[in-house]
Amino acid sequence: IFSSSQSTYSYVGLIGYLGENGVVSNVSSSGSIKANCEFYVYGGGLIGYSSGTITDSYSSCDVNINSTNLIAYAGGFVGYITGGELSNCSAAGNVSAKGANLAYSRNGGFCGYISDSTLIYNCYRFSSQLLTRNGVSNSSYCDFGSIKE
């Protein structure tokens, strides 16, 4: 999947945007997710931006997200999640985020950004893949919500 946009918000993934009442279950994705957009870019191997419920799903996509003027969020599974719940999900693949505003751009092997109100149960990432932020390799620039066993 490739996206190039000049809109203020760009949502890139197999599912670009999953709303508060949205539910995704038993879905997998593979291949690559690429975006070269102008402002706020949310990109994930399965979902770009989510506030819904995701269960029993997997992504092995390589994710490459670029914001030419502002902020990029990239995750191996979901780019940005606020609220909602994840359970029994996993991710593998290389993840790269490049944003003009380095202070706020985020990438993570599983999620680029996770709010404190998000619940996560039994989710993981295969750890041998490469993570880069603005061209520099890193272990992870990922914020975590409430991770439950």
pLDDT at residue number 32: 94
Residue 133's contacts (CB-CB under 8 Å, 6 or more residues apart) are 96, 97, 98, 102, 105, 106, 107, 141
Q: Which of 116, 106, 114, 92 is nearest to 140 (CA)?
A: 106
Mean pLDDT, the chain, rounded, equals 82
Token pair for 55: 């269960």
Residue 106 CA to residue 74 CA, distance in Å, equals 6
pLDDT in tens, 94-108: 888 888 876 777 888
Distance of CA 64 to the CA centre of its chain: 10
pLDDT in tens, 33-89: 998 888 889 999 999 999 999 999 999 999 999 888 888 899 999 999 999 999 999
DSSP 89-105: -EE-S-EEEEES-TTT-
Residue 149 CA to residue 147 CA, distance in Å, equals 7
pLDDT at residue number 59: 95
Residue 141 clears pLDDT 70, i.e. is over it: no
Residue 94 CA to residue 78 CA, distance in Å, equals 13
Residue 8 clears pLDDT 70, i.e. is over it: yes
DSSP state of 126: -
